[in-house]
Structure 1
Amino acid sequence: MNLTSALSIATGGIANINTQLALISQNVANAGTAGYATEVSTQSSIVGDGVGFGVRTGVAQRQIDQALTDSLTVQNATVSNLATTQTALQAIDSVLGTVGDGNDLGSLVGALQDSFSTLLTDPGSQAAQSAVVSAAGTLAGDINTLSASLTQQRTTAQQTLQSEVDTLNQTLGTIGQLSDKIMAATAVGHATADLENQRDAAVQTLSSLVGVKTIQQANGDLLVYTSSGTQLPIHGTSAPFSIAGGSTQPASYYPGGGLSGILLNGQDVTAGMTGGEIGANLALRDQTIPTAQAELDEFSVNLTSRFAAQGLTLFTDGSGSVPTLGGPPVQAGYVGYAASIQVNPAVQAQPSLVRDGTDTIAGSATGASAFTPNPATGPSGFSTLISRVLSYALGSDAQAGVPQPGFNTTGLGPGGTLTAQFSGAATLASYASGITSTLSAQSNTVTSQLSTEQSVQTALQNQVASVSGVNVDTEMSKMITLQNAYSANARVITVAQSMFNTILQATE
């Protein structure tokens, strides 16, 4: 080997070392960057006729396990979905009260029952009559508050969906732009590691919005699909997804009831948008919250009708009317009634009506027995109505041996498409407790699932980090090795220069 070859080899080695040092510097700088995969320099020996002529520096590549990364992408969608659901359910749970603590629906029904029991001991007591009205008002107010909370969380889901669709479009655009650059660089043999890291970060953002899976193409492009198989466009369109605004009052529903689905280039793809925050908010808006509202409406109308059937219109809507029963759908006449239920204004004005009654009941073999209200000149100790309320309105029978009409459990909601999450309740108190316990159980289940899935997510993140993450100690070790190699190559150059100088001096 001549001096020129030795000098060339050493110079190439230093150039290669400088490239690797630059990568180490970049890796260390991104050690705390989420999703960043360590980049490594590639090099190969230059050999001619069996003789080494140095090293060729190739394009930087990422240290990555694609299968692990794909698993983490799927897990991110699961965790985001549960976290979004948990936030909404916990907000609702905060106004539910706790079964048995005196502040839940079932306990408030019990408090109303207790007030009637106290009144039975002294029907003429004005204080006891007012206490009944007060207990009824507390119960109605709690129903109103819970209904308002449900509507608020549904509104939040709808508004959040609109912003999430905007973010979805922006993220798809980012992935498309990066893919264009990666394809262009791949075509001319340039490094794409930095661009791929940026694209992976965008894919992780996308996975928090909706469940996705990706397929890398040989030319550097990326195919993106939802978990249900819908391909997501990343090229050629700025805003492929859209969702219209709409009212989230109890009478609104999707599809066909004033609420929009998610459209992809004008086609409804709502059913395929599962997982992630978008999937969670769709489920909250269209299923979870409307079902809870329907159950609350069912409780409210039965509370009203069972009292009225015994001769006491204790509850009405905001206009002082009793909702109309019947359908279809079964709740057509009282969708959203829980938001307006109140104590009958006539009873508020004249509390003695809780003793005397408000309506004459003709009686029915399949319903309540006959009842005539206590006249204005009737006895102050009149207790017939109070006994009817305690035995029947708050019991499981409409009269002795005649079961109360059952609570509707199917065909619920404004569209008649919802099904209650529990059944079998016979009394107002048991149905009220069912609402509270079911929603609380839902919240607890989601919280437990979230904790489990977050543990899985953390384990996957650690596995990905062990393969792709930047290990600063390892990078520093590489740097020391490269510094030593740099010194060796520099020494070769120094010796070669010295020998050249010696040769030049000898020829003078």
Structure 2
Amino acid sequence: MALDAFSTATAGLRVTQAQIGVVSQNIANVGTAGYVRRTLAPITSGSGNAGVATGTVARALDAAALKQLRAESSGAAYTSLMSKTRTQLDTLYGRPGDASALDGVFNNFTLSLQTLAANPTSTAARATVLSAANDLATRIGSAANGVQALRSGLESQLATDTEKASGLLAQLAKLNTRIVATASGDASRPELEDQRDQALTSLSGLIDINAVPQSDGSVSVLTSSGVTLLDRSNAASLRFDARGTLSANALYATDPSQSGVGTIVASTPGGGKIDLLGSGAIRSGSIAAAIELRDTMLPQAQRQLDDLAAGLSRAMSDRLATGTVPTDGTTGGFDIDLTGLSAGNAITLTVQDGSGTQRNLILMPSYQNPPPAIPAGATDDANATVIPFTIRRPDAVPARTADEVRNAITAALGGGYTVSSVPGGEAGAMRILSSGGATLVAASASVTQVTAAGDIKGSATQIPLFVDGASAALYTGSFDGGSQLTGFAQRIAVNPAVVGSAASLVGVTGTGAASGIGDGTRPQALFTALTSTQRLFSSSSGISGIDAPTRSSVADFVQGVISVQGAAAAAAQDLDEGQSIALSTAQGRFASASGVNIDEEMSNLIALQQAYAANARVLTAARDMIDTLLRI
């Protein structure tokens, strides 16, 4: 019996010593990133389970807490980048109300027009208008350039994050191989598993992933959408084809040859290729946030600025044509004056079918034959039916021009509508009637009243104060040669012709002021066009909060842009703060279950010291018994 006790106590000392070693390891790694607390549970051995043996060192891992931690890490990386970029975007517009902010610069411009209208003979007032107009164009261009700089920065970040994610997948494949080759009782295996978990957590910050344990000890990695990125030791290789500095025209397309931005392609070990962006495989993490910002949110911000620049320019040079009910009793349509119609001067017809559903038909004139195809998203209404048609450039004979436009509109609309001249009306006045099927509800157009950027002294109040780019092209919204609207915010400039003849700001021929002196009609009309006249702004700008065009003055649209971006930035910050709390909670839960707690380890150490002393005492007792037996 004494020999049995001696053997058992000796085994107990060895087990306790091993357990003290595990506790010591835990305490030493209390600050080590990714370290999971180790445990060692003794096992019975010997005849009748009378002995004890050292078990396997295992990790105290809470798989559910770890899974939640990875999910919250993906979410936190997503909301963090969203909040950061949204805040940077909001900063581009300046603090609302500041003189240097977008609304402040706009208000300064409208105030200068009012001042000029009150004192049209003032040379200083004219110079102030030109200076304020230049400041406004520069401010809009600066904000638009900032938007594209943010997009270019995200393009660069996507390249870096994709390379990092690909490297982590390769590292995970190697760790899987080493773990599978290591026996379950090997002391180095928990260290390898720690490294693998740390790599998985890092990967979750980039891409939303799901790690699936396999029976051989390896893990497979899938995106939350189900795309396999790692199958045991076989890892997909990720590649991003960065495009460098992005412009307003650089947009994502599923066809790589048509895309203006980079995409992430996963190459599987079997040779297959998956476009992770086109398939929508990435839904969270910093990569998903960068994609959404680059391809959706920032292009929408660019569209808002483009719409603002276009509205500003066309408020100066266009006449709003609104359909009116025929006065001679004719029903089923509207009379609308389209005199001077230019390429890009869209005609919007609102129609209603038998069920009461309304939709827009957008007739888009073009100087090209055949006219270019125009996506609805590039017009004011992304849900409209766009019908392009060809017209000739402005003709010296208005009647002939009107005939051509009328015939072109008739051909474009096709059956169900008739287009004719208005009896006794202007040469360009047209009557559009529905002859069956859909009912016409409204008709409108924005018709440019000047034929060229140099046309600054006409008899109308309109003037091309703002033009398109260094070439000083007249802005009409044309799609000939591409969308003139896209990127216009970066190109808008004050018309050099007006700068060279400031008197044109007040001169209206035919009113007794042919010399351009003493007439406040034009600046007052321009002020009204900006602050009171209701214009149509595109549904793609997202200002109204619904998927429909916004009708407002240019002044109200400026406020809408600032308000929308400010609200979006505040919402992103709130979401990020909430996600940070969720991540902190998940980290606390995981640390509680799998992290090292010094107080708990010290308590374990005291218990093990007592067990060690007790086993030593048993050895002493067994030795005394044997000594007594030998002395008999």
Interval containing the TM-score (normalised by the shorter chain) = 0.7 to 0.9
User: Match of 1:125?
Assistant: 122
Question: Could you tell me how far apart the structure 2 residues matched to 1:79 and 1:90 are?
Answer: 16
Q: How many correspondences in the alignment?
A: 475
- Alignment correspondent of 1:249: 247
The residue correspondences of 1:355-504 to structure 2 (distance < 5 A) are: 355-356=506-507, 374-375=513-514, 377-378=515-516, 380-396=517-533, 404=535, 406-410=536-540, 423-494=549-620, 496=622
SS of 2:169's equivalent in the other structure is: helix
Cα deviation, residue 269, structure 1: 1.4
Deviates more, 1:134-143 or 1:57-66: 57-66
Task: Tell me which of 220, 228, 232 is aligned to 2:229.
Answer: 232
Match of 2:504 in 1: 353
Identical positions, percent: 28
Deviations 1:195-250 (A, max 9, x none): 22222211110111011122222221112111211111255556611110114111
Contact 1:82–1:280 (CA<8 Å) still a contact in 2?
yes
Residue 13 of structure 2: aligned partner: 14
Give ranges in structure 2 of 5+ residues lacking alignment: 268-272, 319-460
Instruction: Work out whether residues 186 and 220 of structure 1, in 8 Å CA contact, stay in contact via their aligned partners in 2.
Output: no
Q: Is the 8 A contact 2:218 2:232 kept in 1?
A: no
Contact 2:173 2:235 in 1 (8 A): no
8 Å contact kept, 1:77–1:209: yes
2:473 to 311, 314, 321: 321
Deviations 1:437-494 (CA, angstroms, capped at 9, x unpaired): 1111111101001111111211222122222221101101111121222223334445
Check 1:56–1:423 CA distance in 2 against 1; reply closer, same or farther (3 A cut): farther
CA distance in 2, matches of 1:492, 1:297: 87
CA distance in 1, matches of 2:498, 2:614: 99
Which position in structure 2 is the counterpart of 1:205? 202
Q: Distance in 2 between matches of 1:148 and 1:422?
A: 27
Is 1:269 the counterpart of 2:276? The answer is yes
Structure number with higher helix proportion? 1
Alignment equivalent of 1:71, drawn from 63, 68, 73: 68
Q: In the aligned structure 2, how far is the partner of 1:87 from the partner of 1:352?
A: 47
**1:364 alignment partner in structure 2:** none
Q: Tell me which residue corresponds to 1:366.
A: none
Distance 2:100 2:548 in 1: 21
Task: For residue 251 of structure 1, report the CA deviation from its aligned partner.
Answer: 0.9
Using the alignment, how far apart are the partners of 1:196 and 1:422 within structure 2?
53
Counterpart position of 1:340: 491
- Asked if 1:282 is matched to 2:282, the reply is no
| 2: CA distance, partners of 1:181 / 1:40 | 22
Which amino acid letter does the alignment assign opposite residue 252 of structure 2? Y
Instruction: Give 1:164's match in structure 2, choosing from 161, 169, 173.
Output: 161
What amino acid does structure 1 have at the position aligned with 2:27? V
Is the 1:187–1:219 Cα contact (8 Å) retained in structure 2? no
Displacement of 1:192 in angstroms is 3.3
Which has the higher mean CA deviation after the structures are superposed, 115-124 or 103-112? 103-112
In structure 1, what is the Cα distance between the partners aligned to 2:30 and 2:314? 66
Contact 1:173 1:234 survives alignment (8 Å): no
Structure 2 partner of 1:37: 36
> For 2:199 and 2:29, how far apart are their aligned partners in 1?
16
The aligned counterpart of 1:108 is 105
Aligned partner of 1:249: which letter?
S
Question: 1:43 deviation in Å?
Answer: 1.3
**How many Å apart are 1:2 and its aligned residue?**
3.6
More moved, 156-165 vs 300-309:
300-309
Contact 2:155 2:262 in 1 (8 A): no
The separation in 2 between residues aligned to 1:24 and 1:393, in whole angstroms, is 75
Deviations 1:239-278 (A, max 9, x none): 6111101141111111133212110113211121120100
Match of 2:146 in 1: 149
Secondary structure of the 2:502 match is: coil
The answer to whether the 8 Å contact 1:98/1:436 transfers is: no
Paired with 2:311 and 2:214, the residues of 1 have a C-alpha distance of: 60
> What SS class does the counterpart of residue 451 from structure 1 fall into?
helix
Across the aligned residues of Structure 1 and Structure 2, the Cα RMSD in angstroms comes to 2.8
Which residue is 1:27 aligned to? 26
Could you tell me how far apart the structure 1 residues matched to 2:548 and 2:512 are? 36
Q: CA 1:216 to 1:394, structure 2 compared with 1: closer, same or farther past 3 Å?
A: same
Amino acid at match of 1:387: Q
Normalised TM-score (structure 1): 0.86
Contact 1:251 1:336 in 2 (8 A): yes
Q: Tell which deviates more after alignment, 456-465 or 446-455.
A: 456-465
Q: 1:26 to 1:463 in 2, by over 3 A?
A: same
Judged with a 3 Å threshold, the aligned counterparts in structure 2 of structure 1 residues 421 and 205 are, in CA distance, closer, same or farther, namely farther
Q: Secondary structure at the match of 1:232?
A: strand
Q: Following TM superposition, by how much is the alpha carbon of 1:352 offset from its aligned partner in structure 2, in angstroms?
A: 2.6
Q: Is the 8 A contact 1:76 1:204 kept in 2?
A: yes
Question: Aligned to 1:192, which of 189, 193, 198?
Answer: 189
Q: Is the 8 A contact 1:318 1:342 kept in 2?
A: yes
> What do residues 115-147 of structure 1 show as CA deviations (whole Å, max 9, x unaligned)?
111111110101111111111111111111111
Task: Note the C-alpha offset of 1:102.
Answer: 3.9
Take 2:19 and 2:133, find their aligned partners in 1: how far apart are those partners? Answer: 77
Paired amino acid for 1:18: Q
In structure 1, what is the Cα distance between the partners aligned to 2:259 and 2:604? 63
In structure 1, runs of 5+ residues without a counterpart are: 361-370, 398-403, 414-418
The answer to which structure has the higher strand fraction is 2
Per-residue CA deviation, residues 37-94 of structure 1 (Å, 9 max, x unaligned), is 211102112241x361x21211122223211221121111111101011111111211
Contact conserved, 2:2 with 2:625, CA < 8 A, in 1? no
SS of match in other structure, 1:272 = coil
